[in-house]
Amino acid sequence: MASFRARLVNLALPLLGIKRFFSEPELMSERLAKARKRKPERPKAKWSKVFDIVEDTSRGYPVVTITPKQGTKRGAPHLLYLHGGGYVLDIAGLHFETVCRLCQMLGASATVPVYPLAPEHKAPEILAAMRALYAEVSERHGAENVTVMGDSAGGGMSLALAQMLKTDGGARPASLVLWSPWLDATAGAEGQAAIEPDDRMLAQVGLESCAAMYGGDVPPDDPRLSPLFGDLADLPPTAIFSGTSDILLVDGRRLAEKFHALGKTDFEYHEYADMFHVWMLLPVPEGKEALARTADFIAEAHAA
């Protein structure tokens, strides 16, 4: 059973308006237009006492770099974090809060792209930009020192990026971390409809709309949108985190099943009972536990 705090947070989730956003696709364009007018969120001022936080816009989109003021811990990884938001919503303060906490736990630095969004930009362009950014990060820090990670849509993008690296011969990162990953853009997997009444954040119809805006002419079952259907062999060590009150549970489960079928042994699958979408970003005991498990996995992958 979920902790008392997690149950309270779950009850309050509808107040954020995320479920309404994903349940009313006919209003999505209007709501996105309003969202684009808001001031973009960045790390809270308190983190500037701990990290040097630099924002660079020279690539045509902002990239935020987070580096410990005392320097990174010897042998610490570098995190390339791809945020969630259905490929249409901008990065949230909670994303930066969580990345900073993880960097603090690991003594690590991080690169956080505020990547271009759909529907103004489409998957091929966005993925190409992330592939180019990964090349820069891996050259600067060494691919063997990089963890690529993300939540929700960012988790799907992380897996798609790893598949792109395999296809084009790029140096693979030391590890992948996928939090509540969205891996199947068709949004019609068996089992999702049964979970949806318990999911207080996502709805299948909204995922379908986001996938259409992000994909453009790319079909939803294309591995660039749905990396679950791409080449899963010989990927880096991978950690998957899924919650049973999240319609994307079925994506995480299927990825773990496919890894098992391939005989992959360097992966972890963590399923949290009664937990909601991207709970690791929120101040609940299960979120702290997921962060600790993530830090341990990354540290072990980089020590191997």
pLDDT surpasses 80 at 167: yes
In sequence order, the 6+-apart residues with CB closer than 8 A to the CB of 265 are none
Strands laid side by side in the 78-82 sheet: 51-56, 63-68, 109-113, 78-82, 146-151, 175-179, 238-243, 267-272
By the 8 A CB rule, do 183 and 192 touch?
no
pLDDT surpasses 90 at 1: no
Output the CA angle 219-131-96, nearest 5 degrees: 100
By the 8 A CB rule, do 19 and 10 touch?
no
> Mean pLDDT of all residues in the chain?
97
Over range 188-209, report the average pLDDT: 96
By the 8 A CB rule, do 277 and 248 touch?
yes
pLDDT digits (tens, 9 = 90+) for 50-102: 999 999 999 999 999 999 999 999 999 999 999 999 999 999 999 999 999 99
Give the count of beta carbons closer than 10 Å to the beta carbon of residue 58. 7
**What was the pLDDT predicted at 303?**
83
Buried/exposed 70-81: b ≥16 CB within 10 Å, e otherwise: eebeeebbbbbb
Tokens 């970003």 belong to 281
**What was the pLDDT predicted at 187?**
86
pLDDT digits (tens, 9 = 90+) for 96-110: 999 999 999 999 999
pLDDT surpasses 80 at 304: no
Q: Which helix (H) or strand (E) holds 88?
A: none
pTM of the model: 0.98
Report phi then psi at 242, rounded to 5. -135, 150
pLDDT surpasses 80 at 300: yes
Question: Which among 135, 76, 69, 146 is positioned nearest to 107, based on CA atoms?
Answer: 76
Tokens 């591995």 belong to 223
Q: Which tokens go with 127?
A: 């993925």
Q: Which tokens go with 29?
A: 């364009």
Beta bridge partners of 267: 238
In sequence order, the 6+-apart residues with CB closer than 8 A to the CB of 163 are 223, 227, 230, 231, 232, 235
pLDDT digits (tens, 9 = 90+) for 7-43: 999 999 999 999 999 999 999 999 999 999 999 999 9
pLDDT surpasses 90 at 195: yes
Q: What percent of the chain has pLDDT over 70?
A: 100
Question: Which among 177, 61, 38 is positioned nearest to 128, based on CA atoms?
Answer: 61
The Cα 128–Cα 260 span in angstroms is: 30
pLDDT digits (tens, 9 = 90+) for 240-295: 999 999 999 999 999 999 999 999 999 999 999 999 999 999 999 999 999 999 99
Q: Which tokens go with 214?
A: 């992000």
The Cα 117–Cα 123 span in angstroms is: 9
Tokens 């798609």 belong to 160
Tokens 């749905």 belong to 226
Class of the CATH-defined domain 4-303: alpha beta
Determine the 3-state secondary structure of 78 from DSSP: strand
